Amino acid sequence: MVQFYQAPRFDASFAAISDATRRGVLEQLGRADASITELAARFDMTLTGMKKHVSVLEQAGLVTTEKVGRVRTCKLGGRGLEDEAAWIERYRRMWATRFAALDKVVEHLKQKEASDGRKADE
C-alpha cells in the first residue's frame, strides 16, 4: 500500500537533494557552519544563486540560517534524512529480493541448458 502521509515532506527533501550543488552545500555544512558568501565563493556562484539553493534546503528543513548584522550564517537543520533513508531502504530490499529471484531463474536456465547440451552430445 502506498503511504502518502509524508509526501509533501519527502517531495521537499528529494527536490532539495536532487541538485549536486545543494548536496555539496549539505556536505560543507556538515563540516562547519558557513555564511552564504562563503558558500557562494566555495561553489563559484553568485550570492543570489546561492541564496536560492539555501532557500530550497531551508524549506526542506535541512538547513537553518541566522542573520547577524549583514551576515547570514547557514548550518545544518534540525532534522536529518532518516525517514527518507528508511523509505529508500525498503525499496532497496525489495529490488534486492527481486534480483536474487532473477539470479535463481538465470542459474536454473543455465543448468538446464548445460544438461540439455550434454544429452544432445550423447
In a domain, 99, yes or no: yes
Greatest extent of the chain over all pairs of C-alpha atoms, in Å: 89
Residues 85 and 67 in one domain: no
Side chain identity, residue 77: G
Per-residue model confidence (pLDDT) at position 1: 46
Per-residue model confidence (pLDDT) at position 111: 87
Q: What is the pLDDT of residues 10-64, one digit of tens each?
A: 888 999 999 999 999 999 999 999 999 999 999 999 999 999 999 999 999 999 9
In a domain, 2, yes or no: no
Residues 59 and 119 in one domain: no
List of E strands, the chain: 34-35, 63-68, 71-76
Sign of the torsion formed by the C-alpha atoms of 76, 81, 82 and 85: negative
Q: What is the pLDDT of residues 58-101, one digit of tens each?
A: 999 999 999 989 999 999 987 778 888 888 898 899 999 999 99
Contact present, 101 and 64 (Cβ < 8 Å): no
Per-residue model confidence (pLDDT) at position 29: 96
Per-residue model confidence (pLDDT) at position 28: 96
At 2, the pLDDT band (50, 70, 90 cuts) reads: low
Q: For residue 59, what are the contacts with CB-CB under 8 A and spacing of at least 6?
A: 12, 16
Boundaries of domain holding 117: 81-122
